[in-house]
Structure 1
Amino acid sequence: MAGTAAAAGQGASTIFWRALLVLWSCCSDGVCRGGPGVNVYLSVEETRRLIGLDAELYYVRNDVVSYYALPFKLLVPGETNSLHFTWHAKSKVEYTLGFQVDNPAVMDMPQANISARGEIPRKESVFRVDLLCTGTFDSEVAMEMQLNLTINSSKNITVLNFKRRKICFKIDAVHTAPATSTRVFYISVGVCCAVIFLVAIILAVLHLHSMKRVELNDSMSESGSSQGLSQPSTQTTQYLRADTPNNATPVTSYPTLRIEKNDLKSVTLAEAKARVKDVAISRERITFKDVLQEGTFGRIFHGVLVDEKDPSKEKNVFIKTVKDHASEVQVTMMLTESCKLRGLHHRNLLPINHVCIEDGERPMVLLPYLNWGNLKLFLRQCKLAEANNPQAISQQDLVHMAIQIACGMSYLARREVIHKDLATRNCVIDDSLQVKITDNALSRDLFPMDYHCLGDNENRPVRWMALESLVNNEFSSASDVWAFGVTLWELMTLGQTPYVDIDPFEMAVYLKDGYRIAQPINCPDELFAVMACCWALDRDERPKFQQLVQCLTEFHAALGAYV
């Protein structure tokens, strides 16, 4: 896995870059030495290509040098092999250009399509810098481009150092024999037929085995759902104590019913609006109150919705909306992801109620209001209060929250609905500690530190994702179980960030090697064993949500016996 020293991720640095686009600084001695009329910047297209923002990023603007932008080591993905800088000057400014790389064995010295010495053009133009990996190693290379600017051949020189981190991948050379092509063809056909035959036999055996499992699990689901939270099951639960989570013996194995891959990018704004048209309401019925959360392009309000039939009746709602500068892609994702739980009814789910998609108005998504709001923010407030009041929230309360989340996820699993982003940030809570699972609309914007881009231009909750989701982009109920284990860890740590010391680019290797997050302080072994079961590499070895409900319910009852 490339990128051993990568930053916290381009997704997490979006706010940083937006600030840089409007923040400029003069030179340290108060004299701007960039030269008369000098501009060096990244165009809108180049900024969008590298960091996903629709804006120009200036390094020198009208002779003013931005010393905030220069030191940042911008990540260059593996598929990007060139950089484009736009520059011009109003009068004569000479330059010299040089490069440095920290590992020449991984990347050759960068090459520019301009000479190493000359004058900055008087008209706006673009020069290109090619970053060519050697293809011999998987690694990350630190590259620095030094641009020295000299005004009127004087001794007044301004030094600009542009820092980049380039991801390089190893290229495996493929050698094919020039002769015996017919023989190779027949051998290949024979091997393919043998593989197809073997796969057909394996699938038939697995199908028969899965049918028996599904019948058994359905019967367990029906018996378990009738018990409720207040009536723990009488069936004994095997609590697991594993030194290494990867070696934990699961409660039982089960087949993965359905595997999905992300397809949000294929949805257009018109299609997203069409999906919610039947729950669209008039803007006149909505009143905004307080701002509860705010990101770069999104906000969540506490609002009021007036009853359509009786205007004297009102009810409190959450209002998710976007700012005026939000792009069409961001609006589409908000509407599409808001539909994730639509049409589902369970006491531990919070699907959308209505939307407002009137022309000329910012699109709005309305959900029922819970007065303590976001679960992650609530847990962190509890952690702050814990210093003054150790009894601010009990372990029994936290386990009760986990049971509710597991109940909601069990309902989704039975209906073959895959959440794909289960975490405390996507749950809400009220003053009676009633927890409800929500969709992940706007979560990337409101919790940017929880999402990372691994060079594929998509922000993902890397630290909550199962290995198969990280590597193959595959999501199932089993990957939701993995995320539930991390969510349970969040509850026990009162909102801490998992794997905080692990580079997002190294997460897949870290998980493959059998490493997991450590057992939280004051977390019982039995509870940590439940987490460990959720993190089995083989998704068929992870427990089902119904089993997690049963296990946690019994543990909750055992805690109550000692209170």
Structure 2
Amino acid sequence: MATTAPGWGVWPILWRALVLLWSCGGGLCRGGPGVNVYLSVEEMRRLIGLDAELYYVRNDVVSHYALPFKLLVPGETNSLHFTWHAKSKVEYKLGFQVDNPAAMDMPQANISAQGEVPRTVSVFRVDLLCTGKLDSEVTMEVQLNLTINSSKNITVLNFKRRKICYRKPEQEEKSLIYPGKNNSKDGRTAFDAVHTAPTTSTRVFYISVGVCCAVIFLVAIILAVLHLHSMKRVELDDSMSESGSSQGLSQPSTQTTQYLRADTPNNATPVTSYPTLRIEKNDLKSVTLAEAKARVKDIAISRERVTFKDVLQEGTFGRIFHGILVDEKDPSKEKYVFAKTVKDHASEVQVTMMLTESCKLRGLHHRNLLPINHVCVEDGERPMVLLPYMNWGNLKLFLRQCKLAEANNPQAISQQDLVHMAIQIACGMSYLARREVIHKDLATRNCVIDDSLQVKITDNALSRDLFPMDYHCLGDNENRPVRWMALESLVNNEFSSASDVWAFGVTLWELMTLGQTPYVDIDPFEMAAYLKDGYRIAQPINCPDELFAVMACCWALDRDERPKFQQLVQCLTEFHAALGAYV
């Protein structure tokens, strides 16, 4: 196994364990020619964002776990790379199958259809050629037959992939000649012929485009230099103004029993200082109450239509009620709702933040999101936010109730149910990522669930008040979910879909521990130091290695190494199906 980048915590250890598990299948020819077929670290990182090798055959042992796994190939990826070699003579035959020829032509390899497996480590490429005629998810199969001459032993390896193909715009279809159509006597495709013998007009066109691109590139460089120069001046001014008030992070303590970290060389120099926290001004506090009310005026309704039943949660200044909403046109029709409101002593800032944060998911429509339906903002009354009712309520409280009942009813909720919840949360977050919406506070406390185990992601309005132990102020007068935040969010206040992926990993850990608090023994001021040193929360009891591996890859220090939500949905769905096979 290749060594992974620092900061992955226990991920290298887990991945080695997984590869060993995958290598326990049937043998190709034990004590034989030493065949190896696998995906390299670079290929795995390119396809699913993991720093690890995936072996299909390791020293003649076939991995029957890895072979059936259908990796999803994104639309922008048009080739696959397989690494292979053998210590002695092994013959091969290579073939392909495609279930939708209208969406994808037959794949083409850069090696011959049959021959000998190379004796040195080599890579062969398989090009995936979408036709561009329609949008489709194509299942394609690479069939590799390996034959040992001495025993005539034939082993068939089938690598299945799911390729996303997109339909090209109509004007492009008319102007482009697609590869794969053999239109010349010497065997060249039309695509080759056009590119090897361009007409004069084509040359003029390419030269014109090149000149335009060069001019645009030069202008962009000049603007970038000017922008960087101005940014440096702003940062210098900011650093001078903040130098007297910024607070550094203390050095981590020696307590390590609850956490795991990556292997560190014996001569490694301990880190004694860390970047100070740079906190940007909270834009929510810059919004006035009048502005917040104006933003939701179009969904405002009369308070007379709402009747309170029970108090579901209560904090210092906020409450969530189980309410009944009467239909405006037909008073005989009623439906249950969540009603979020504040107490009389709540400050104007707290009221404004409740209204503003409640609009985070407004206008978004997905089966795993719970945006607001209506508000009551009448003068002289405390504002109230109404959301669709989910009868089992807050997901974190539900999980903790399951844990309390675990001794009497251990079958109350299964591991398969928990993975299904994680898939739903990942689906909702994948939708937000596609819409370029950053949640910033993903956790089980900001999800709700019903009696059919359908999970929906909510906003974080009132969460600081209802779950005060999950939020901490690091000397900046701002309560934040420190234990759920990525390192770049803690140190630089930078948020993105990648930081939401980090929070999803912690949320998945919450699910598997039935609502426990992560990093419960770590001082919030030391969180950034622990994360930078490679420490992560330990694997929960009874959590499968494969599932903890998913969590671990969400906690990569480099945000580019974290998986995308679409990849997490695919991985968890495959794992959920595998769990179902044993139930």
Give the TM-score band, short-chain normalised: 0.5 to 0.7
Residues 28, 298 of structure 1: alpha-carbon distance in 2 compared, 3 angstrom cutoff: farther
RMSD of Structure 2 on Structure 1 (CA)? 26.4
Residue 328 of structure 1 deviates from its aligned partner by 0.2
Residues 387, 78 of structure 1: alpha-carbon distance in 2 compared, 3 angstrom cutoff: same
Asked if the contact 2:14–2:545 (Cα under 8 Å) also holds between the matched residues in 1, the reply is: no
Residues 232, 375 of structure 1: alpha-carbon distance in 2 compared, 3 angstrom cutoff: farther
Residue 270 of structure 1 deviates from its aligned partner by 1.1
Cα-to-partner distance string for 1:294-337 (whole Å, 9 max, x where unaligned): 00000000000000111110000000000000000000000000
Asked if the contact 1:452–1:461 (Cα under 8 Å) also holds between the matched residues in 2, the reply is: yes
Tell me, in whole angstroms, the C-alpha distance in 1 between the residues paired with 2:424 and 2:122.
59
Cα-to-partner distance string for 1:27-69 (whole Å, 9 max, x where unaligned): 9999999999999999999999999999999999999999999
Residue 391 of structure 1 deviates from its aligned partner by 1.1
Tell me, in whole angstroms, the C-alpha distance in 1 between the residues paired with 2:209 and 2:197.
17
Residue 474 of structure 1 deviates from its aligned partner by 1.1
Residue 153 of structure 1 deviates from its aligned partner by 109
Residues 505, 146 of structure 1: alpha-carbon distance in 2 compared, 3 angstrom cutoff: farther
Cα-to-partner distance string for 1:357-388 (whole Å, 9 max, x where unaligned): 00111100000000000000000000001111
Equivalent in 117, 122, 138 of residue 119 of structure 2 = 122
Asked if the contact 1:232–1:554 (Cα under 8 Å) also holds between the matched residues in 2, the reply is: no
Q: TM-score, normalised by structure 1?
A: 0.56
Q: Does 1:428 align with 2:445?
A: no
Tell me the SS of whatever aligns to 1:174.
helix
Tell me, in whole angstroms, the C-alpha distance in 2 between the residues paired with 1:426 and 1:176.
58
Tell me, in whole angstroms, the C-alpha distance in 1 between the residues paired with 2:527 and 2:76.
20
1:144 is aligned to 141
Residue 267 of structure 1 deviates from its aligned partner by 1.2
Residue 390 of structure 1 deviates from its aligned partner by 1.4
2:381 is aligned to 361
Residues 269, 440 of structure 1: alpha-carbon distance in 2 compared, 3 angstrom cutoff: same
Give the number of aligned pairs.
557
Asked if the contact 2:73–2:163 (Cα under 8 Å) also holds between the matched residues in 1, the reply is: yes
Asked if the contact 2:438–2:497 (Cα under 8 Å) also holds between the matched residues in 1, the reply is: yes
Deviates more, 1:120-129 or 1:189-198: 120-129
Asked if the contact 2:38–2:55 (Cα under 8 Å) also holds between the matched residues in 1, the reply is: yes
Cα-to-partner distance string for 1:398-422 (whole Å, 9 max, x where unaligned): 0000000000000000000000000
Residue 389 of structure 1 deviates from its aligned partner by 1.6
Tell me, in whole angstroms, the C-alpha distance in 2 between the residues paired with 1:163 and 1:472.
42
Deviates more, 1:115-124 or 1:68-77: 115-124
2:401 is aligned to 381
Asked if the contact 2:260–2:535 (Cα under 8 Å) also holds between the matched residues in 1, the reply is: no
Asked if the contact 1:370–1:428 (Cα under 8 Å) also holds between the matched residues in 2, the reply is: yes
Deviates more, 1:307-316 or 1:222-231: 222-231
Cα-to-partner distance string for 1:493-519 (whole Å, 9 max, x where unaligned): 000000000000000111010101001
Residues 207, 96 of structure 1: alpha-carbon distance in 2 compared, 3 angstrom cutoff: closer
Deviates more, 1:208-217 or 1:119-128: 119-128
Residue 268 of structure 1 deviates from its aligned partner by 1.2
Tell me, in whole angstroms, the C-alpha distance in 1 between the residues paired with 2:48 and 2:161.
12
2:65 is aligned to 68
Equivalent in 271, 278, 290 of residue 270 of structure 1 = 290
Tell me, in whole angstroms, the C-alpha distance in 2 between the residues paired with 1:63 and 1:101.
28
Residues 454, 392 of structure 1: alpha-carbon distance in 2 compared, 3 angstrom cutoff: same
Cα-to-partner distance string for 1:415-467 (whole Å, 9 max, x where unaligned): 00000000000000000000000000000000000000000000000000011
Tell me, in whole angstroms, the C-alpha distance in 2 between the residues paired with 1:547 and 1:66.
22
Deviates more, 1:345-354 or 1:132-141: 132-141
Residues 6, 362 of structure 1: alpha-carbon distance in 2 compared, 3 angstrom cutoff: farther
Residue 124 of structure 1 deviates from its aligned partner by 85
Cα-to-partner distance string for 1:483-538 (whole Å, 9 max, x where unaligned): 00000000000000000000000001110101010010111111011001110111
Cα-to-partner distance string for 1:153-189 (whole Å, 9 max, x where unaligned): 99999999999999999xx999999999999999999
Deviates more, 1:79-88 or 1:276-285: 79-88
Residue 393 of structure 1 deviates from its aligned partner by 0.7
Residues 93, 351 of structure 1: alpha-carbon distance in 2 compared, 3 angstrom cutoff: same
Residues 441, 93 of structure 1: alpha-carbon distance in 2 compared, 3 angstrom cutoff: farther
Deviates more, 1:525-534 or 1:173-182: 173-182
Q: Does 1:54 align with 2:51?
A: yes
Asked if the contact 2:72–2:162 (Cα under 8 Å) also holds between the matched residues in 1, the reply is: yes
Deviates more, 1:195-204 or 1:274-283: 195-204
Tell me, in whole angstroms, the C-alpha distance in 2 between the residues paired with 1:241 and 1:90.
37
Asked if the contact 1:93–1:150 (Cα under 8 Å) also holds between the matched residues in 2, the reply is: yes
Residues 105, 364 of structure 1: alpha-carbon distance in 2 compared, 3 angstrom cutoff: same
Residues 322, 540 of structure 1: alpha-carbon distance in 2 compared, 3 angstrom cutoff: same
Deviates more, 1:136-145 or 1:496-505: 136-145
Residues 44, 410 of structure 1: alpha-carbon distance in 2 compared, 3 angstrom cutoff: closer
Residues 297, 155 of structure 1: alpha-carbon distance in 2 compared, 3 angstrom cutoff: farther
Tell me the SS of whatever aligns to 1:304.
strand
Q: TM-score, normalised by structure 2?
A: 0.54
The higher relative CO (CA closer than 8 Å, separation ≥ 6) is in 1
2:82 is aligned to 85
1:482 is aligned to 502
Deviates more, 1:435-444 or 1:257-266: 257-266
Tell me the SS of whatever aligns to 1:336.
helix
Residues 124, 73 of structure 1: alpha-carbon distance in 2 compared, 3 angstrom cutoff: same
Residue 540 of structure 1 deviates from its aligned partner by 1.0
Residues 51, 173 of structure 1: alpha-carbon distance in 2 compared, 3 angstrom cutoff: farther
Asked if the contact 1:252–1:543 (Cα under 8 Å) also holds between the matched residues in 2, the reply is: no
Residues 360, 495 of structure 1: alpha-carbon distance in 2 compared, 3 angstrom cutoff: same
Asked if the contact 1:250–1:533 (Cα under 8 Å) also holds between the matched residues in 2, the reply is: no
Asked if the contact 1:372–1:428 (Cα under 8 Å) also holds between the matched residues in 2, the reply is: yes
Tell me, in whole angstroms, the C-alpha distance in 2 between the residues paired with 1:552 and 1:40.
25
Tell me, in whole angstroms, the C-alpha distance in 2 between the residues paired with 1:332 and 1:32.
70
Tell me, in whole angstroms, the C-alpha distance in 2 between the residues paired with 1:239 and 1:31.
40
Residues 487, 92 of structure 1: alpha-carbon distance in 2 compared, 3 angstrom cutoff: closer
Residue 103 of structure 1 deviates from its aligned partner by 73
1:18 is aligned to 16
Tell me, in whole angstroms, the C-alpha distance in 1 between the residues paired with 2:13 and 2:384.
23
Asked if the contact 1:34–1:149 (Cα under 8 Å) also holds between the matched residues in 2, the reply is: no
Tell me, in whole angstroms, the C-alpha distance in 2 between the residues paired with 1:500 and 1:418.
26
Deviates more, 1:446-455 or 1:125-134: 125-134
Asked if the contact 2:8–2:553 (Cα under 8 Å) also holds between the matched residues in 1, the reply is: no
